[in-house]
């Protein structure tokens, strides 16, 4: 059984539960993070998720 706290967390996803860490000094990482934060704050959680996926892919390919 999960408590009420877990249910609230499921309804209101927090940024970033599984976002990759931005690489310091990388403008692309910073941009993805900023866009994901903006989307999350705007309630566009699917866009925020997409941006986290893009950011993770960028990290794999560029770093």
Stretch 11-50: interaction string toward Zn ion, x if CB under 5 A: ------------x--x-xx---------------------
Calpha distance 56→36 (Å, rounded):
12
- Rank residues 33 and 48 by Cβ distance to Zn ion and give the closer one: 33
Calpha distance 49→33 (Å, rounded):
11
Query: What's the start-to-end Cα distance of the chain, in Å?
Result: 41
Q: How far is the CB of 16 from Zn ion (least distance, A)?
A: 15
| Residues making contact with Zn ion (CB under 5 A) | 23, 26, 28-29
């Amino acid at each position: 059984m999960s408590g009420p706290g877990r249910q609230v967390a499921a309804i209101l996803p927090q940024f970033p539960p599984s976002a990759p860490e931005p690489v310091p000094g990388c403008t692309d990482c910073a941009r993805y993070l900023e866009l994901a934060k903006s989307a999350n704050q705007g309630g566009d959680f699917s866009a925020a998720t997409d941006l986290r996926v893009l950011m993770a892919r960028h990290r794999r390919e560029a770093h």
